[in-house]
Chains A and B, each alone.
Chain A
Amino acid sequence: MQLTNRAQQVVQKEMTLAERLYLPAIFAGLSITIKHLFKKKATLKYPEVKREFAPVYRGQHVLKRDAEGRENCTACGLCAVSCPAEAITMDAAERKAGEEHLYREEKYAAKYEINMLRCIYCGLCEEACPKDAIYLTDRIVASEFTRGKFVYGKDVLVEKMDDRIDVSQRKKHYSIVNN
């Protein structure tokens, strides 16, 4: 099967004198490198200029709340099962009377942890989630001094009410059916 048309037959013939002198090849190389002197530079001056992320960039996760601020996650565990890196663990709990404004479903995740060092940012968790609860975002996981701090709990993962994260772009790209 031929994938590209760039394949080349390898030949081991004697080099001609011109080739063995190397000088023509060196001049060809020099002219290539000097051309790059005038090319547009690929560098972005980071803190001042930021690279634009793709709308489906897979960075730090977020556990979404719905429009009324209730947590979407129902602790079904599908994300944990689908995770190839086994990065997600959770404890389920039953919603008590009077907690309806906190959790959308009758069952919710009392503890929900993602180990960011295990995660490979594949995005399978967000594809698996039936409740529209977990999404990857364009935020970059911050660096830490200890490994333990990379186990993110609900305090980090759950979306803050005063700092809501827009995932409509991702939804459009993934066309996830919300039930």
Chain B
Amino acid sequence: MTLILFKTLLILIIFLISLGIAAYSTYGERKIAAFLQDRIGPDRAGPFGILQPIADGVKMFLKEEIIPNVSNKWLFILGPCIFMVTALMTSAVIPWGLPLEISGVKYNLQVADINIGILYVLGVVSLGVYGIMIGGWASNNKFALLGAIRASSQMISYELAMGMSVIAILLMNDGSLSLNSMVENQGTGKLYGFINISGMNWNVFYQPVAFLIFLICAFAECNRTPFDLAESESELIGGFHTEYSSMKLGLYLFAEYINMFISAAVISCLFFGGYNFPGISYLQEILPANIVSLISVAVLFGKIIFFIFFFMWIRWTIPRFRYDQLMRLGWQWLMPLSIINMLISGAVLIWIRN
């Protein structure tokens, strides 16, 4: 099997898994919302309602497609496409597991191990805001425009704090931006230098503040409650996708869940050791490499699903922020906090290494 074939297959599989997880996130969201509110949620389509996403998808496709005639038609169509494409693109640099060995050749379970990995993620995520902005602008509707403005200013503000909090991790990683090397570093070495559990050297134990900042910013970047001001139904009737219908609306909603999936993956990779898990080196000794590799993939997906659950858990717990509160939190709390965190970790690292 050539490298090209393997990568193509991998891209296809990741694409399908992203879509599948996004579809089942909608189901999960409704179920979790229901459970947290003492209801049982959708349970009619198939056993426990597990066919609900398919029913929703069919519904989305069959709905009437309306393009407002005062809108800018091409931009109106472009908006959801950009949003979807950027959401799917981020998954390219995430290391999904230990390398697989097929007929003697090692294949990395990562589409592209580029040396600017995390920078690529931040860059592509910030491109996603164009999808919202273009969509909101092209709709020619004041609510859509307001939602788009809110979304773009919010995402730009929180990107700064997000980037700053990542710098602390980069310092620990000897300045390497590659996600693969970050995950590998978290799998080797002893925790705090003396606790010897293999595969447990996770960044979250060294950088809890950076983790907190990153998590909050991830919520803001994904437009999730408590920062869902861009589409607050009660104020803006859905915000930037007010004028959208049928599958174009579906793309927006879908891409949001893909974004959530990718942020969960990035959080797991940056702070929770990616595919590493306690006891990984022991398993590597007693099991064949490929099986450990598959287990590591499963572990990463376990972490991702936990974070997706966490996103939903937060959504059904905390009410929405006010807009000035959102901006104050972003600029006056998270920004300085992330800078201070960066300076302190830099100082501590220099002190340790000398």
Contact = CB atoms under 8 A, between A and B. Distances in A.
Real binding pair:
yes
A29 B318 contact: yes
Contacts of A26: 314, 317-318
Given A30-B313, A43-B40, A36 B35 contact: yes
B43 interface: yes
Interface string B200-213: 00000000000000
A33 B43 contact: no
A41 B38 contact: yes
A36 B38 contact: yes
A85 B290 CA distance: 76
A48 B317 CA distance: 32
B36 interface: yes
Given A26-B318, A29-B318, A45-B43, A36 B36 contact: yes
Interface string A30-47: 101110110111110100
Contact of A42 (B32, B38, B316, B317): B38
Interface of A: 26, 29-30, 32-34, 36-37, 39-43, 45
Contact of B39 (A29, A30, A32, A41): A41
Chain B's interface: helix, strand, loop or mixed, by majority?
A: loop
B327 to A, nearest CB: 15
A37 B317 contact: no
A98 to B, nearest CB: 56
A45 B35 CA distance: 15
B313 A34 contact: yes
B313 A33 contact: yes
Nearest to A44: B40
Interface string B17-49: 000000000000000101111111001000000
A41 B37 CA distance: 8
Nearest to A37: B35
Contacts of B37: 36
Nearest to B226: A26
Contacts of B35: 36-37, 41
Contacts of A32: 317
Closest 7 CB pairs of A and B: A33-B317, A29-B317, A43-B40, A33-B36, A42-B38, A37-B35, A41-B40
